[in-house]
Amino acid sequence: MPLVWVTGNAGVGRSAVCALLKSRGELAVDADRFGWQTSRAEVEALAARAHGELAFFCGSTENDEDLRDLFDLVVCLVVDDDTLRDRLLTRTSNSFGKHPEELAAALEANEGAESACRRLGATIVVDGRLPLPDVADAILAAAGRLVP
C-alpha cells in the first residue's frame, strides 16, 4: 500500500484530516510536529512503521522537493481565500496566520497553491471546504482504500 502525502497551504485542513484519519484507525502523522522542515529519516521512519500498509503524512514543509520521491501519492487540499482567511483567524490549534503579515503571506501563497502542489506531483486535488469526513473519504479513495 502507498505512502500518501496530504499537503496544501496552512489552513486547508491537513491537521484536522490527519486527526480524523487517525481516529479511523489509519496510520497518519501530522507534519506540524516536525516544524518547518522534515528530514528524510522522519518520512522513512513512517514508511517503516507502516510495514507495507497504507500510511499518511499530513502537512507541508519548506523542503518539500527533497521529500517528494519518498511518496507514492500526493493529495493536495485547497480552499478559497475567504475560507482560508476565516480558518486562520478563528482556529485555536495554531497561531500561524493571526498576525496581519502572516495572513497576507498565506493568502498570497493560496493563489498558486494548486499549481505548487501539482509541481510536487499531486494528481489528486480535494476541496478542503467539504465536510471533513468527505475530505477523508476522498483521500482514502484516492489511496485505493475501500471506504466503509
pLDDT tens for 120-133 read 888 889 999 999 99
pLDDT for 132 equals 94
Which whole number is the average pLDDT over 8-34? 89
Lowest mean pLDDT, pick from 35-44, 84-93, 96-105, 121-130: 35-44
Residue 12 lies in a domain: yes
Confirm whether 11 is domain-assigned. Answer: yes
Residue 84 domain-assigned (yes or no) = yes
**120 CA to centre of own chain:** 13
Report the domain count for the chain: 1
> What is the structure's pLDDT at 114?
86
For the entire predicted model, the pTM comes to 0.86
pLDDT for the residue 25: 94
CATH number at residue 128: 3.40.50.300
Tell me whether residue 148 is in a domain: no
In a domain, 136, yes or no: yes
Say what the pLDDT of residue 56 is: 94
Burial 76-112 (b: 16+ CB within 10 A, else e): bbbbeeebbbebbeebeeeeebeeeeebeebbeebee
| Residue 72 placed within a domain | yes
**Residue 148: what pLDDT?**
38
Q: Which domain holds residue 128?
A: 3-142
Share of the chain above pLDDT 90, in %: 32
Average pLDDT, the chain: 86
Torsion angle of alpha carbons 133, 20, 95, 5, nearest 10°? Answer: -90
Number of H helices and E strands in the chain, helices first, is 7, 5
12-24: average pLDDT: 93
Query: Is residue 111 situated within a structural domain?
Result: yes
